[in-house]
Amino acid sequence: MISQKWSKLIKSLHLKKFRKAEQLFFVEGEKAVLEVLAAHWPVKALFGTADFFDRYPETAYAAEMSHPCSASELEQVGTFTSNNAALAVVAIPQYAPFVETDGHWTLVLDNVNDPGNLGTIIRIADWYGIRHLLCSADTVDAFNPKVIASAKGSFLRVKLHYGDLTPWLEKAQQPVYGAFLNGDSVHQLALPKAGGFIVLGNEANGISDAIAACVNRRITIPAFGQAESLNVGIASAVIVDNLVRLSAK
C-alpha cells in the first residue's frame, strides 16, 4: 500500500514547483523503472506490484525504500492510465556545468514548450550520441512526467542544462547552426569539421531574435510539398541525421 504521505508527495511531483522544491521526480512503468535502477540513480522509494517484485526480487534492495502496492494505486498517483508494474521516486541529478567539447555536437533548445517534443528530442540525441542539450529557462522541464515517459530511458544518458542561452552561444568556439525556414539546405551543406551547436526554436515562433543573433549559419530542411512547417521533434531528427552523417564523411 502507498501511504498517504507518499501518495501526496508523488502527486505533488506532477508540478514543476514541487519537483524543484523537493529535488525529486518519478518514473513509471516496468521498463523505465528497471533502467533507472540499472543505471544506479538514487531511487528514494520504489513502489511495485507483487508480480513486479516476484519477477525482479533484486529490485527490492536497489532503492532506499521499497513497498508493494496494487496496480490501481500506481495509476492513482502517477500519470499512466495503466501501470501494473512499478513507480520509482528518484532524486534529480546535479550535473557539472556544461563545457564545450571540440568535435562534439550539442543541441540547443530555445523555448521548446511541448513535453512530448522534448522527450522525442532527448531520444534523438541519445540515438546519435549527443550527450548535452542546452535549454532556455522557459523550455519545458526535463523531469516533467510526460517528458520522462516520451524520452523512455534516454534521459539517463543525455544531460540537460538550463539557463540563459546567449552566454553559451556567444563564447562558442565551434559553428552555431540554427534551424530556420530560410537557410542553406541540410542536404547540401559543406561542413568545415565535425561538431558544433544546433539551435531549434519554439514550436509556434521558431528561434527568438536574441538567439538568432548568435547563429552564424542558418540551415533549413527543403520542402517538396505544401506543408507549412515540421514538428520540432521531427525537424530535429532530420537535421541531426544530416549533420552527423555529413560530418562523418
Query: Residues of the chain with pLDDT > 90: what percent?
Result: 91
Burial class (CB in 10 A: 0-12, 13-18, 19+), 28: buried
**Mean of pLDDT over the chain:** 95
Q: Tell whether the model's pLDDT for residue 246 goes beyond 90.
A: no
> CA 185 to CA 222: how far, in whole Å?
6
pLDDT over 70, % of the chain: 100
Distance separating alpha carbons of residues 206 and 202, to the nearest angstrom: 5
Average pLDDT over residues 209-236: 94
- At 180 the pLDDT is 94
User: Residue 245 — pLDDT band, cuts 50, 70, 90?
Assistant: confident
Give the 3-state DSSP-derived string for 140-202, with helices as H, strands as E and coil as C: CCCCCHHHHHHHHHHHHCCEEEECCHHHHHHCCCCCEEEEEEEEEECCCCCCCCCCEEEEECE
Q: 168-222, pLDDT tens digit by residue? A: 999 999 999 999 999 999 998 888 788 999 999 999 999 999 999 999 999 999 9
Position 232 pLDDT exceeds 90: yes
Provide mean pLDDT across the span 154-171.
97
Answer whether residue 249 shows pLDDT above 70: no
What are the pLDDT digits (tens) for 123-142? 999 999 999 999 999 999 99
CA distance 12 to 238: 37
Residues 96-124: pLDDT tens digits? 999 999 999 999 999 999 999 999 999 99
CA distance 188 to 219: 10
Residue 36 CA neighbour count, 13 Å, CB half:
31
The grid coordinates of residue 15 equal 508540478
- State the pLDDT at residue 79: 96
Least trusted range by pLDDT, from 53-62, 146-155, 178-187, 239-248? 239-248
Residue 196 and residue 175 in contact, taking contact as beta carbons nearer than 8 Å: yes
Reported for 66-70, long-range contacts at CB under 8 A and 24+ positions apart, including other chains, are 67/1, 67/2, 68/1, 69/1, 69/2, 70/1
Copy the grid coordinates of residue 11: 502527486
Domains of the chain: 4-91 (3.30.1330.30), 105-247 (3.40.1280.10)
CA–CA gap between residue 75 and residue 72 (Å, rounded)? 5
Alpha helices, H only, the chain:
4-12, 16-22, 30-38, 50-55, 71-77, 115-127, 145-151, 165-170, 209-212, 232-247
